[in-house]
Amino acid sequence: RLPPGSLGLPIIGQSLVSLRELKANTAEKWLEERVTKYGPVSKLSLFGKPTVFIHGQAANKFVFSSDSRAIANQQPDSFRMIIGERNVLELSGEDHKRVRDALMSFLKPECLKQYVGKMDGEVRRHLELHWEGQQKVTTLYARRGPSLSKRVFHLTKDLISCLVSIHGQDNGESLSEDEIVHNVVAVMFAGHETTATLITFIIRVLANEPAIYARVVQEQEEIAKGKVPGELLTWEDIAKMKYTWKVALETLRMVPPVFGGFRKTLKDIEYGGFIIPKGWQVSGKPHAFS
């Protein structure tokens, strides 16, 4: 039997409602009300497709650990149109592993170490230009367009070069042109949106929790004592930020920068005593309601 709930109007379903709730920052309350009304498993329609919303720790385990022959990665059509259908968030099975391994070779510590000092320099310049001595921060991004585009170009060039030169470790198959382009876009999107959102949430936590803020500052000051004025951060300095990292991880747990995700069923599957038909979307939240 199908989960309780309603698919709403044809095509439209609950898409407009969900977008309205997201814009009003009340989407979590809206989903919590669904759980109260229908339980942890319910059906609705999002972005033109029938969807089953599942909630709770068991739901997360089900989504992220299910057999790839039963549930596959699939984002809404609008996302695929922007990012590309061969991005790592769309692929499953061996294709997903091959592309993920290629991306991880670029994101491994040996590569990231090269960018610590560069990132520190960029952050310092940004703070000096737009934050230092200001009571209110108002950044006009258009003014930074040319210089920012130049720096993004060099980072993108590094990523493309890395992906072009990599061959699959298991079968020697290189990435296709579409896979390179689509995953460069995916990495740039993920690296900007989720990182900026996480930093915003961390700043909010530090502003609301003086004790946590004091411990983070203390840790940063201890690291600063070992450096000469103007010296950039190193990978070793980052490794010393253990409490700061714990704050980041706890913030990720409490308020993930990604509101939710989608999967697609490849066959009829059972969850929570209900049948989720083949071809339906499965969506859930990565953390429990607070």
For residue 280, is pLDDT > 90? Answer: yes
What's the pLDDT band for 289 if we cut at 50, 70, 90? very low
Are 100 and 21 contained in the same domain? no
User: Averaged over 238-249, what is the pLDDT?
Assistant: 96
The backbone region for 91, taken as left when phi is positive above 0, alpha when psi lies in -120 to 50, beta otherwise, is beta
d(CA 21, CA 27): 5
Q: What total number of domains does the chain contain?
A: 2
Whether the Cβ atoms of residue 51 and residue 281 lie closer than 8 Å to each other: yes
Are 212 and 143 contained in the same domain? yes
Whether the Cβ atoms of residue 27 and residue 260 lie closer than 8 Å to each other: no
**Better-predicted residue by pLDDT, 242 or 90:** 242
d(CA 44, CA 246): 36
User: Averaged over 254-280, what is the pLDDT?
Assistant: 88
**CA-closest candidate to residue 50, choices 282, 251, 284:** 282
What's the pLDDT band for 240 if we cut at 50, 70, 90? very high
Are 166 and 79 contained in the same domain? yes
Q: What pTM was estimated for this model as a whole?
A: 0.71
Are 75 and 62 contained in the same domain? no
| C-alpha distances in Å from residue 152, one per residue of 13, 14, 31, 119, 192 | 39, 37, 37, 12, 11
Are 258 and 271 contained in the same domain? no
Predicted pLDDT of residue 142: 45
Percentage of residues of the chain with pLDDT beyond 90? 36
Rg of the chain in Å (alpha carbons)? 22
Predicted pLDDT of residue 268: 94
pLDDT (tens digit per residue) in 15-72:
999 999 988 888 888 999 999 999 999 999 998 899 999 998 888 888 878 777 888 8
Are 271 and 165 contained in the same domain? no
Are 252 and 131 contained in the same domain? yes
Distance of CA 138 to the CA centre of its chain: 26
User: Averaged over 229-253, what is the pLDDT?
Assistant: 94
Predicted pLDDT of residue 81: 81
d(CA 207, CA 105): 36
Q: 110: domain range?
A: 71-265
Predicted pLDDT of residue 57: 84
Are 97 and 185 contained in the same domain? yes
d(CA 216, CA 196): 19
Q: What CATH number is attached to the domain comprising 233?
A: 1.10.630.10
Q: What CATH number is attached to the domain comprising 1?
A: 3.30.43.20
List of E strands, the chain: 41-46, 49-54, 71-73, 261-265, 269-271, 274-276, 281-284
Are 254 and 271 contained in the same domain? no
Distance of CA 229 to the CA centre of its chain: 35
Percentage of residues of the chain with pLDDT beyond 70? 86
**Better-predicted residue by pLDDT, 112 or 265:** 265
Are 156 and 81 contained in the same domain? yes
**Better-predicted residue by pLDDT, 219 or 180:** 219
Average pLDDT, the chain: 83
Are 6 and 122 contained in the same domain? no
Are 93 and 119 contained in the same domain? yes
Predicted pLDDT of residue 222: 96
The first and second tokens of residue 190, run together, are: 């993920």
